[in-house]
Structure 1
Amino acid sequence: MHSNIKAASSNYTNLVDIGIGIVSGGLGGVVFWLTVLPLGVAKTLIQTNPDKNCSRNPFRILSSIYQKAGFKGCYTGLGPTVSRAFPANAATIVAWELALKMLGIKHD
Structure 2
Amino acid sequence: ESIGNVVLFSVYEYVCYYMHSNIKVASSNYTNLVDIGIGIVSGGLGGVAFWLTVLPLDVAKTLIQTNPDKNCPRNPFRVLSSIYQRAGFNGCYTGLGPTVSRAFPANAAIIVAWELALKMLGIKHD
**Which TM-score applies when normalising by structure 1?**
0.95
3-state SS of the aligned residue for 1:40? helix
The structure whose RCO (Cα within 8 Å, separation 6+) is larger is 1
Alpha-carbon contact 1:30-1:85 (below 8 Å) kept: yes
Deviation at 1:22, TM superposition (A): 0.2
Alpha-carbon contact 2:43-2:111 (below 8 Å) kept: yes
**Equivalent residue, structure 2, for 1:40:** 58
Q: Per-residue CA shift, 1:53-103, capped at 9, x if unaligned?
A: 110000100110011111000000000000000000000000000000111
CA distance in 1, matches of 2:27, 2:86: 52
Q: Which has the larger radius of gyration?
A: 1
Q: Percent identity?
A: 93
3-state SS of the aligned residue for 1:54? coil
Say if 1:9 and 1:29 are closer, same or farther in 2 by CA, change over 3 A: farther
CA RMSD of aligned residues (A): 1.1
**Equivalent residue, structure 2, for 1:20:** 38
For structure 2, the residue ranges without an aligned partner over 5 or more in a row are 1-18
Deviation at 1:107, TM superposition (A): 1.7
Alpha-carbon contact 2:25-2:34 (below 8 Å) kept: no
Alpha-carbon contact 1:42-1:61 (below 8 Å) kept: yes
Deviation at 1:5, TM superposition (A): 1.6
**Equivalent residue, structure 1, for 2:87:** 69
